[in-house]
Amino acid sequence: MKYLTDLEIEQYCKDHSSRENSLLKKIRQDAFRFAPQADMCSDQLSGSFLRNIALLKQPKNILELGMFYGYSTLCMAEGSPNAKITCVEHDGRVINIAKDFFDAHPCNNIINVIHADANTQLDEILSNEKFDFIFIDADKKAYVDYVKKCCNHLDTGGVLIVDNALWRGNILNTENDEKAISVDECNKELLNDERFENSLLPVRDGMHLAIRK
């Protein structure tokens, strides 16, 4: 992971934020072994941010696009253990791994995993449902599409968080980087959507927080 803040500051923030439990630590370590370069799993800092927002909001119906090993899923579940969480993930291998981790967690029964491609099946997944907390962390090239669709399924007070909103800093120079172009468009979409109050925060790889007014 290319950190966007000074490494010592990053470490100081981790040292002064709630610790992850032993299961979350194991998930993060296993995920790192699976894909050390991609570093796809949330970490202690971004995880504690998700947990805190869930704790504050106490959502009843959470949607996560892009679950991977379930680290972020469990952080949101820990913050809001009475919620229902629907996770959309297209990789069957990681779903099996995440399910084993969920089995070892007391919040297991609130998590429902949908094995699907968010890029083609999001309309169907969203149909007739309102969510009060949506975490977007799947295909970066589809971010604008996800955000446009998801924004219509959040009621007043609903929370939207988009991960990797600074895309390793490449949003400053998007040339030849399709993912950076898409993430940048998504950030602008949220800024310009008058239904939302938004804060783009330099937490880990950038977390864009938007609240439906």
**Least distance from ligand SAM to the Cβ atom of residue 29, Å:** 13
> In whole angstroms, what is the distance from residue 149 CA to residue 124 CA?
11
Instruction: Identify which of residues 115 and 130 has a Cβ nearer to ligand SAM in the complex.
Output: 115
> In whole angstroms, what is the distance from residue 143 CA to residue 105 CA?
30
Q: Does residue 71 interact with ligand SAM by CB under 6 A?
A: yes
Q: Does residue 90 interact with ligand SAM by CB under 6 A?
A: yes
Question: Which 109-128 positions form the footprint of ligand SAM (CB under 6 A)?
Answer: 117-119
> In whole angstroms, what is the distance from residue 171 CA to residue 71 CA?
25
Residue partners of 141: CB distance under 8 A and separation at least 6: 178, 179, 182
> In whole angstroms, what is the distance from residue 194 CA to residue 67 CA?
29
Residues 59 and 132 sit within 8 Å (Cβ to Cβ): yes
Question: Which 119-178 positions form the footprint of ligand SAM (CB under 6 A)?
Answer: 119, 137-139
**Least distance from ligand SAM to the Cβ atom of residue 156, Å:** 26
List the beta bridge partners of residue 65: 88, 136
**Least distance from ligand SAM to the Cβ atom of residue 5, Å:** 18
Residues 95 and 124 sit within 8 Å (Cβ to Cβ): no
Count the site residues for ligand SAM by CB under 6 A.
Answer: 19
Q: Is 74 helix (H, G, I), strand (E, B) or coil?
A: helix
Instruction: Identify which of residues 23 and 195 has a Cβ nearer to ligand SAM in the complex.
Output: 23
Among residues 42, 44, 80, 86, the one that binds ligand SAM under rule CB under 6 A? 42
Residues 149 and 123 sit within 8 Å (Cβ to Cβ): yes
Q: Does residue 67 interact with ligand SAM by CB under 6 A?
A: yes
Among residues 76, 94, 162, 165, the one that binds ligand SAM under rule CB under 6 A? 94
Residues near ligand SAM (CB under 6 A): 40-42, 66-68, 71-72, 88-91, 94, 117-119, 137-139
